[in-house]
Structure 1
Amino acid sequence: MTTVDATWTRPRLRDGIVLGPGQWRDGKLVHHIKDPETGWYYRVGPREHFLMSRMDGTRSLDELAGEYAVAYRRQLGPENWQQLFGMLHQRQLLHGATDPEAIARLTASAAAGVAKARRGPLSARLPLFDPERLFTRLLPWLAPLFSWWFVVPALLAVLAVAGYVALHLPELADGVTSGNRPLPAILAAVVITWAIVFLHECAHGLTCRHFGGRVTEIGMMWRFPLLAPYCKVDDVVLFTPRRRVAISFAGVFVSMLALLPFAAIRLWGTPGSLLYELASTLLLFGTVAAALNLVPFLRLDGYYMLSHALNLTDLRTDSYRFWGRLLRRGPGAVRTHRPRDRVAYALYGLTSAAFAATVLTLLVRYWYDTLARWVGSGWAVAILLTEAALLAALLAHLARRHRPPTPTPVP
């Protein structure tokens, strides 16, 4: 492309294009751009975002260039415009300059990328339905639940339940490990737990929808060795950090709120009754599950809450990259990061490594003690070494198959 088309002298983005706020990724500020027609999410830098956010059809190229020069103290030349419009044309983001065949190709490629991400030996997703219409109908009725008048008292109630479980933890644990739970209580606990997990995922989606996002699917997710529901909230990248934290926390919040009736049964019920035993089981496992969800070293809600609160798009991966550069090339290799990000990456990398080492040590110790009782200490060591070799080979194979994502489009 050598010249700018005359129809683009007052450029305007296509209707529906959404520009997200800035987030930090590996020391660079990026913005997510959503194209709802094709299903693509793109990443652009702050300068491209600056110009795109002003492409509303009212400004000429000279006016855009003037605003850019004031903001960045740099003049835009013809080659800069050609590069920008080339990118916009390739992604079909400009109003009045779209090609239906190109739109169809982009839509197909986004769908293919999503389908590929759903399959894998250790993780996979099975979409069940699109909840958009359901959530749209429910939101007017649920609007009061998003006000501080509800959230603050509900949060205090949740903290009270967590405190009650912590105070009675030995008693609750003994009741579960004793093996005296009635079978109907166990079966009911499994069914209710799955219902709570489903509500947990719906809470993520409803909160995202409340903030104006689109929720595209609810389904079942396989993440070795667990099978659980999921709710797809890709639009979370388009919100401010505060709203992203709220969306991530909503699931745990609702899971704990669902335990309130069972806390009341445990407090005022008859010890030994079916409902009392059921309430005890759900309180213990529900609170433990919520606590695990908030651990920031597992890729669960707590991790995303921390990542969003720090406004870092991928805290774990970027922490590993930070430490890799620091150890290989020294402090000079990470000076491009903001000081606060250097602290965040350094602390998260150290604490996550300590957490992983602790968990791995405990698991190996437990598995060794179990094997030693079954086959003796010598065979236990041999089995552990064989398992370690197989795991290392599997991780190496997965690493070779891994393809890093392209730096700009994100399906």
Structure 2
Amino acid sequence: MLNSIDSSMVSSSQRPIPFKIRPDLIVKRVEYRGIPSWVIKDPVGLKYHRLDPEQYRCLQLLNGERNLEQIEKALCEEFPSLHLQLQDVQGLVTELHKKNIVFSDRPGQGAALLEIQREQDKKKRWNLVKNLLYLRLPGWDPEPTLRYLYPYIRFCFNQKFIFFTSLFIASSWILLLVNFSTFQAKLPEFQQFFGWPNLIYLWITLALTKVLHEFGHGMSCLHFGGECHEMGVMLLVFSPTLYCDVTDSWMMRNKWHRIIIGAAGMIVEIFISAITIYIWWFTQPGLLHHLALNIFFVTTITTVVFNANPLMRFDGYYMLSDLLEIPNLRPKADKTLREKFAWYCLGIEPKPDRTMPTSGRLWFILFAITAWLYRWVVVFGITLFLYTVLKPYDLQSIGIAMAFMSVISIFWGMGQACYQILMAPRQEPISYVRLGFSLSVLTAIVVAALMIPIPWHLESPVLLEPADLKHVYTKTDGVIEEILVQPGDTVEVGDVLMRLSNIQKKMELQQYKTELKEIEIRIRTADQAGNLDQENYLLDSRKNLITLINQLEQQFKQLEITAPISGQIIAPPRAPVPKVDPMRNQLARWTGTPLDSANLQAYLEPKTHLLSIAPGSDYVAQMVIDQEQRNDLHLDEEVEIKFDHLPHEIYLAHVSEIADRPLEVAPEALSNKAGGQLATVTDEQGNERLQNPSYLALVDLNEDVDLLRTGLRGQARFLVDERTAGQWLWKYIRSTFHFRL
């Protein structure tokens, strides 16, 4: 009786904690950015927990006999910088108990654990309801299947196989790029093929590719020494697929092994897409042909939009988390954003948290905001897809309802986060001054964005050239002997601009003339001998020689280059210094421009751009406008032009001409390969062809011509209309999305 009274008078911090570490746990030490952590594997519940050093030390100290004060003292001695108190230690013990990695011999523990399990099941059911577009159902243990298949696919992890697979994938993409026009031409046929009821093929191919995707995760995890004990069915936007739990990779110390496991599924899909590209190319239009193209789209789009994207909690997210060595990247980013919101908008100071990062908080905030915005983009895109597919069958309400539930879940999460911030226990009250100021700023921003008139301008790249410019090219090859003009000189029609020489052609001409004299003698001899056949043969040979001599003499005349028009000399674009192979004997290749004196005795190829001649002092700006902007630009419309080398000068000019036909070849200086803004591809002739349909407009420039030079690049801007931001947003929605209710 006395002992019970004495024990009741002992404070709770001095009573023994009745918890012990479970002996069946598997523990691995894993470092993140040089900081040790301990990953705990529960072999019974197949759950994994990552513990910080103080958490793991607290777990080790739990032996059923130590009390809170003893554990606090031991932790403070080992981790003096944490300044732990009794309530902190009590929180650590409670957290370890919730993770179910400690046990107690005392009665009544089962009820507490059962209550924890019920809360977890309730949370799972709620997640199932609020993520109707992403349903994850319970699965089975695939470990026996994986171990059975592993010996047959072990060769896939061989370095030689990986090398040749990479070459195969690269070759398929090259094939696709080379035949991109054919590929693009077949897209309408492909889209028409996959309507109802053939849409079932889309689901089947998606399911099969995702099965292989998940087996890629499982096999790679098994290869690096991990285990996989859960694989189940998942409905991604109503499409059946699988999921594979490879959380056991957390036990691996090598982060690159974890990254490879995360990327294994995407690698499998990329390999499948490479195979389907070849199947599509070598088959005739039909079921197999269209299915191959469909699989290519499924594997490519899902990989880019979902799996490889770190903004969603799929493969790319976990790969980024392992690469940066930041466990729980998304929860930490969300919490950092909530703390900053609570402080700046509500005046609530965040509590110190040892698990939160102390540096790079801005990047965490940007990551959280970007991920939140991207989630809206995905929900909106899926809604459009479901609406478009189900509308012909009057089932669009199903897609809208599913999307509505997803939107509600997003707002519910935002509201729940705000509620937790407001209801969290704290000593300081909410700063109503900051709250009012934040609401005022938000209201002002919304009003300014939607009600204030905003002019809407469109921009296009421009290239400056003299009006009616005439380009001069070499008609034959030769070596520069004499340069008679320089940029800025004025010439008249017929003036000699440059003289070239060609020793080889000169020697050929002399040889042909010598052969002609010999044939003339042989013709006279055959005529005197009465050999008619030989005479006819020699006459034909003489005719051919005369033709060759005339051609060479014409080429010699072309070595003297004359001005086709009168005007001012304009230098051509400068050529970079070429790479010269010292093992090969090559003629000197010119650099800069052919008009440079350093290029004397340099070799010029046929069709080399020597110079240009401007007949007047006027300039014209070539303006390349996108097809979508074509109808917004009109003749005589005022355009503002700003050149790159004159960033503080704005030239006002008017549109003088707009082409009726699309521009096929872009000006070389405006190509993205030359530092311009236009996306181009190089064709077989070396021309830079535009990837997007565009039109050419000409803008006359007559002011400050002394500051302008041929070949200047810049940006042209013209006013389309002036409306409020809300009106522009509504116009964009109406022009982009055609809802037919």
TM-score computed with the length of structure 2 as normaliser: 0.40
User: Partner residue of 1:275?
Assistant: 288
- Determine helix, strand or coil for the equivalent of 1:221: strand
2:46 equivalent to 1:33:
no
C-alpha deviation, 1:203, in angstroms: 1.5
Q: Pick from 183, 203, 217: which aligns with 2:216?
A: 203
Distance in 2 (CA, whole Å) between partners of 1:247 and 1:323 is 30
Query: Does the 8 Å contact 1:297/1:352 carry over to 2?
Result: yes
1:130–1:215 contact (8 Å) kept in structure 2: yes
Residues 29 and 37 in structure 2, CA contact (< 8 A), matched pair in contact too? no
> What letter corresponds to residue 19 of structure 1 in structure 2?
K
Whether the aligned pair in 2 keeps the contact of 1:38 and 1:107 (CA below 8 Å) is no
CA–CA separation in structure 1 for the residues paired with 2:379 and 2:83: 54
Higher strand share: 2
* Unaligned runs of at least 5 residues, structure 2: 1-11, 63-70, 393-400, 421-741
Q: Amino acid of the residue matched to residue 216 of structure 1?
A: H
After superposition, the C-alpha distances for 1:2-36 in whole angstroms (9 at most, x for unaligned) are 5779xx9xx98613423352559xxx986442221
1:39/1:107 contact within 8 Å kept:
no
How far, CA to CA, are the matches of 1:363 and 1:299 in structure 2? 17
Runs of 5+ unmatched residues, structure 1: 56-63, 375-385, 405-411
Partner deviation per Cα, 1:258-302 (whole Å, 9 max, x = no partner): 2333233234x1443543333233223322222222122233222
Match of 1:342 in 2: 361
Contact 1:172–1:280 (Cα < 8 Å) also in 2: no
Q: 1:60 maps to what in 2?
A: none
The answer to whether 1:322 aligns with 2:336 is: yes
Amino acid at match of 2:337: W
Cα gap change, 1:334 to 1:168, in 2 (>3 Å): farther
| Deviation for aligned residue 1:141 | 3.1
Q: Identity, % of aligned pairs? A: 22
1:132 maps to 2:166: no
- Alpha-carbon distance change, 170 to 281 in structure 1, aligned in 2, over 3 angstroms: farther
> In 1, Cα distance between the equivalents of 2:241 and 2:249?
21
When residues 170 and 298 of structure 1 are mapped into structure 2, their CA distance, relative to the original with a 3 A threshold, is: farther
Return the index of the structure with the highest Cα Rg. 2
Q: Indicate if the aligned counterparts of 2:206 and 2:241 stay in contact, CA closer than 8 A.
A: no
Give 1:44's aligned residue: 51
Does the 8 Å CA contact 1:334/1:342 hold for their aligned counterparts? no
**Which shows bigger deviation, 142-151 or 390-399?**
390-399
Find the residue that maps to 1:229 and give its secondary structure: strand
CA distance in 1, matches of 2:40, 2:245: 17
Distance in 2 of aligned mates of 1:15 and 1:146: 32
**Which aligned pairs between 1:394-405 and structure 2 lie closer than 5 A?**
395-397=410-412
Determine helix, strand or coil for the equivalent of 2:243. strand
Contact 1:154 1:257 in 2 (8 A): yes
Q: Does 1:246 align with 2:260?
A: yes
Out of 14, 29, 32, the residue aligned to residue 23 of structure 2 is 14
Correspondence for 1:265: 279
Question: CA 1:239–1:104 in structure 2 vs 1: closer, same or farther (change >3 Å)?
Answer: farther
Partner of 1:299: 313
**Post-superposition shift, 1:204?**
1.6
Aligned to 1:255: 269
Q: Could you report, residue by residue, the CA deviation over 1:67-126 in whole angstroms, capped at 9, with x for unpaired residues?
A: 98997468999x89x96889878877579x768995897589558735852542424432
Give the structure-1-normalised TM-score: 0.66
SS at structure 1 position matched to 2:129: coil
- Distance in 2, matches of 1:317 and 1:303, equals 12
How many angstroms apart in 2 are the aligned matches of 1:275 and 1:23? 48
Residue matched to 1:407: none
1:18/1:35 contact within 8 Å kept: no
Aligned to 1:233: 246
Contact 2:98–2:116 (Cα < 8 Å) also in 1: no
Alignment deviations for residues 105-164 of structure 1 (CA, whole Å, 9 cap, x no partner): 758955873585254242443234321111122223333323444334434433444554
Report the Cα distance in structure 2 between the residues aligned to 1:356 and 1:75, rounded to whole angstroms: 37
1:228 partner SS? strand
CA distance, structure 2, for counterparts of residue 334 and residue 32 of structure 1: 26
Within 5 Å, give how 1:77-88 maps onto structure 2.
none
C-alpha distance in 2 between matches for 1:192 and 1:30: 41
Q: Is the 8 A contact 1:207 1:246 kept in 2?
A: yes
Deviation of 1:48 (Å): 3.1
* 2:397 corresponding residue in structure 1: none
Q: Deviations over 1:243-270 (max 9, x none)?
A: 3222211111111222333233234x14
In 1, are the aligned partners of 2:21 and 2:60 still within 8 Å (CA)?
no
Distance 1:182 1:264 in 2: 20
Higher helix share: 1
Counterparts of 1:67-86 in structure 2 under 5 Å? 72=79
Summarize the Cα distance change of 1:284–1:387 in structure 2 as closer, same or farther, 3 Å threshold: closer
Change (3 A) 1:209 1:47: same
1:14 partner amino acid:
P
Whether the 8 Å contact between 2:25 and 2:43 is mirrored in structure 1 is yes
Matched, 1:143 2:151: no
Could you say what the CA RMSD is over the residues aligned between the two structures, in angstroms? 5.3
- Aligned positions, number: 372
The 2-side partners of 1:340 and 1:74 are apart by: 17
Q: SS state of the match for residue 298, structure 1?
A: coil
Closer, same or farther in 2 for the Cα pair 1:278/1:348, shift >3 Å? same
Does the aligned pair in 2 maintain the 1:17–1:36 contact within 8 Å?
A: yes
